[in-house]
Amino acid sequence: EIMRLARTPEIVNWMKSVRRKIHQNPELAFEEHETSRLIRSELDRLDIAYRFPLAKTGIRAVVGTGNPPYVALRADMDALPIQEAGDWEHKSANAGKMHACGHDAHVAMLVGAARILKAREQQLKGTVVLLFQPAEEAGNGAKRMIRDGALENVDAIFTMHVSHLLPTGVMGSRQGALLAGCGFFKAVIKAGKGSNAFLAASAAVISLQGIVSRESDPLESQVVSVTFIKSRDGTGTGTPAQAELGGTVRAFSKENFRLLFRRIEEVMVAQSEVYGCSATVDFFGGSDAVYPPTTNDNKMYEHMKKTALRLVGTDNFRVVEPLMGAEDFSFYSELVPAVFLFIGIRNESVGSVHSVHTPHFMIDENALPLGAAIHAAMAETYLYEHG
């Protein structure tokens, strides 16, 4: 019944319209004012109550009894600072901004789920919380939503993300760690008397490459990447007196994160001393931009898989490999049982083949009904089983 509702022409065309309006007016992190206004307008038409603002532009809506249990569904709203290169009727009208990660589709799917759940509100055995979150790309939208009460009373949470790696109509996920945690480091190397800070930095970069290749478990994916290096004279002699370098760290467990951070600092300090310099390292530990790994709760994963199989059948559900990408949904998954699902949008016939975060990225809108249905079915069946 949920799938039938999601596929009705009226709802399909409406979801496409919502998605296209958002796509034409992409807004960056914490600037999603028009996107938020459009969502609230649709919620008002559906007579769905909501709280606004959370995290500046975010929304927390509720459907159901208003009583426990509470299950949350989350969609992100922000776009990227990318100039859209594709050419279609509804391309971005905002220069240098583009929905290059599918968040416009995520919002349309969740609004579609809201409409389905409202139509079936008498069937709900608890409360569905609908979270429309800003600033996923900036890395701190989820944290600010949480601080503003997004997870109040919530027992579990579900989200999904479009994927060009899966064909349209196919869904995929896995138990345990699905997406890597992501952190950053910056080191400042200062030259001692007669020493060269840039030479010390260069040696440190080479030594950092051995941490993963020589010290890490080869069966556990980890990344240490130096992404910038710069130096300045400051002495008038042409010899760099100070160098800065930094980069990113990715791993699938907090334990490996701590180990990588420790070894990076040890390498930076020791190599600098070899060249007569001193080094300090900052890992931005208190920053919202440090993502923990996104890990699927085992029971929530089984619930999601069972629901997905009922919707699309065994041939259209895949256990996917872990990905080194990071997601701020991980902040929710640290606090309540959570599950993250990929929904396929790959369709060569419409040109939906390009990776996210690229100027040619586009989606197959035929995925919208399935996205709305899996959201609604996940929530309704969760409440039925836990109510």
For residue 309, count CB atoms less than 10 angstroms from its CB and return exposed for 0-12, middle for 13-18, buried for 19 or more.
Answer: middle
SS3 329: coil
d(CA 39, CA 343): 22
d(CA 255, CA 244): 27
d(CA 301, CA 307): 10
Pairing of β 181-191 and β 242-251: antiparallel
Q: Kindly compute the dihedral angle of the four CA atoms of residues 71, 297, 334, 338, in this order, to the nearest 10 degrees.
A: -30
Cis peptide before 69 (omega within 30 of 0): yes
161 annotated as ligand-binding: yes
Return the percent helix, strand and coil in the chain, to nearest 5.
40, 25, 35
23 annotated as ligand-binding: no
357 annotated as ligand-binding: yes
Q: Kindly compute the dihedral angle of the four CA atoms of residues 11, 17, 18, 24, in this order, to the nearest 10 degrees.
A: 160
Report whether 254 contacts 293 (CB < 8 A): yes
Angle (nearest 5°) at CA 195 between 193 and 201 = 135
137 annotated as ligand-binding: yes
Question: What residues contact residue 324 under an 8 Å CB cut-off, 6+ apart?
Answer: 179, 180, 221, 223, 250
d(CA 36, CA 140): 17
152 annotated as ligand-binding: no
Question: What residues contact residue 262 under an 8 Å CB cut-off, 6+ apart?
Answer: none
d(CA 137, CA 190): 33
Residues placed in the known binding site for Mn(2+): 101, 103, 137, 161, 357
Residues placed in the known binding site: 101, 103, 137, 161, 357
